[in-house]
Amino acid sequence: MMQKQTTVAACVAMALGAGVTASALARQTASPDVERHVAAAREAAGAEHPRFFDYLCRAPQPRASRPVASRARTQPTRRQPPPRSDWYAEPAKVFDNLYFLGTRSLNAWALTTSGGIVIIDPLYDYNVEAEIIEGLRTLGLDPADITHVLVSHGHGDHYGGAQQLQRQFGARVLLSAPDWDMMLANTGSQPKPTRDIEVTDGQQLSVGDTQLRFTLTPGHTPGTISTLVPVRDGGRSHVAALWGGTAMRPTEEFYTRYVAGAQKFAAVAAEAGADVVISNHAIFDRADEKIEALATRGAGDPHPFVIGEEATQNMFKMIQHCAQAGLARLAR
Ligand SMILES: [Zn+2]
């Protein structure tokens, strides 16, 4: 596995333990209900989603042993970007019309259409140039063709590069209204794009010959967008499901919304015949392993990202059981 886990992005690291005290966490020990949901999630994860399961189903951990009082002092100073050697990953063609432009831990995607390029989750301000703009050029694509930037949710590791793409290429930027609000209120260091398109539940975006379909799945953030992305492999059509926000906040309200969102998007994905899973973090879709496998794929070999409709639906089952395990931990 080429992935290093040391550069896990902010929104993956943030949720576990956020908003709960150590004593509340101590009460969240195993119970038969918890074990039942974790076992069901493990079974649904199978061989396809083991890293995702390991991440999502573990019990919340308190954040280090940092005393609460010290947290305020570590807040909004402008942090130094990590060195390129910590995050840089090569761009890669994944489908005929979908390209990986992410870092070692954070995925960004370019969807090519007859009407321009759609970027999904434009990374941070400090690596949008190296990974997305230069990445497109490396792959023989023109960043001036970027027409839209979809931001799955309003966390800095996904929107930080949006302002530059909006200013430099005139790209339209899409978030849900609740996540526009959340992002624009954020005092963190990542630059914010100017408010633009507000994505609503069930909305479709047509760019040239291609349509993306959005489902609002609150839970990770108030207005997380999950997306169906049409992809092609050697002329064969597939539908990729992108679960827009993954880490769960350990509260009843968030777990409940998370389960409802997973059920809703699972139904939409099933109806569309989704048979591919992509994510905005490699620990969830194993993009790093699969891109490595693609490099040695022979003619006629299966595409490593095409996992089939059953395994795609199993991911949603796993997600729901992990969230229900979380609820069961709280109920004790
Ligand atoms: Zn996030």
At 266-300, the pLDDT tens digits run 999 999 999 999 999 998 999 999 999 999 999 98
Mean pLDDT of the 145-174 span: 97
Distance 280 CA to ligand 1 centre (A): 9
Distance 245 CA to ligand 1 centre (A): 6
Distance 183 CA to ligand 1 centre (A): 11
Distance 186 CA to ligand 1 centre (A): 13
Share of the chain above pLDDT 90, in %: 79
Distance 28 CA to ligand 1 centre (A): 23
Distance 153 CA to ligand 1 centre (A): 6
Distance 201 CA to ligand 1 centre (A): 19
DSSP letters for 65-120:
T--HHHHGGGSSSPPPPPPHHHH----EEEETTEEE---SSB--EEEEETTEEEEE
Distance 190 CA to ligand 1 centre (A): 13
- What is the predicted pLDDT for the residue at 235? 83
Distance 318 CA to ligand 1 centre (A): 19
Beta-carbon contacts of 51 under 8 Å, excluding residues fewer than 6 positions away, are 283, 284, 286
74 compared with 278, residue with greater pLDDT: 278
Distance 157 CA to ligand 1 centre (A): 7
| Average model confidence (pLDDT) across the chain | 89
- What is the predicted pLDDT for the residue at 94? 98
Each residue's pLDDT tens digit, 4-35: 333 345 566 544 444 445 445 545 556 899 99
Distance 302 CA to ligand 1 centre (A): 31
- What is the predicted pLDDT for the residue at 114? 98
Distance 40 CA to ligand 1 centre (A): 25
Distance 242 CA to ligand 1 centre (A): 13
Taking 90 as the threshold, does the pLDDT of residue 173 lie above it?
yes
Distance 155 CA to ligand 1 centre (A): 5
Mean pLDDT of the 52-75 span: 64
- What is the predicted pLDDT for the residue at 63? 60
- What is the predicted pLDDT for the residue at 62? 67
Strands 225-233 and 236-242: antiparallel
Each residue's pLDDT tens digit, 205-230: 999 999 999 999 999 999 999 999 99
331 compared with 229, residue with greater pLDDT: 229
- What is the predicted pLDDT for the residue at 29? 57
Q: Which structure tokens are listed for 142?
A: 């023109």
12 compared with 234, residue with greater pLDDT: 234
Distance 217 CA to ligand 1 centre (A): 13
Indicate if the alpha-carbon torsion angle 170, 174, 178, 184 is positive or negative.
negative
Mean pLDDT of the 75-102 span: 88
Q: Which structure tokens are listed for 311?
A: 């395994």
- The length of the chain in residues reads 332
Distance 254 CA to ligand 1 centre (A): 14
Distance 281 CA to ligand 1 centre (A): 10
Beta-carbon contacts of 143 under 8 Å, excluding residues fewer than 6 positions away, are 117, 132, 133, 136, 137, 168, 169
CATH topology (fold) of 20-55+87-331: Metallo-beta-lactamase; Chain A (3.60.15)
Distance 269 CA to ligand 1 centre (A): 21
Mean pLDDT of the 103-128 span: 97
Lowest-pLDDT range, 11-20, 70-79, 306-315?
70-79
Model confidence at 61, in pLDDT bands (50, 70, 90)? confident
Mean pLDDT of the 47-71 span: 73
- What is the predicted pLDDT for the residue at 215? 98
Distance 140 CA to ligand 1 centre (A): 30
Each residue's pLDDT tens digit, 185-209: 999 889 999 999 999 999 999 999 9
Q: Which structure tokens are listed for 83?
A: 């060195």
Taking 60 as the threshold, does the pLDDT of residue 1 lie above it?
no
Q: Which structure tokens are listed for 28?
A: 């969240």
Distance 188 CA to ligand 1 centre (A): 14
- What is the predicted pLDDT for the residue at 19? 46
Distance 297 CA to ligand 1 centre (A): 32
Angle 306-308-313 from CA coordinates, rounded to 5°: 120
- What is the predicted pLDDT for the residue at 80? 85
Structural domain boundaries in the chain = 20-55+87-331
Taking 50 as the threshold, does the pLDDT of residue 36 lie above it?
yes
- What is the predicted pLDDT for the residue at 179? 98
Distance 226 CA to ligand 1 centre (A): 12
Distance 246 CA to ligand 1 centre (A): 7
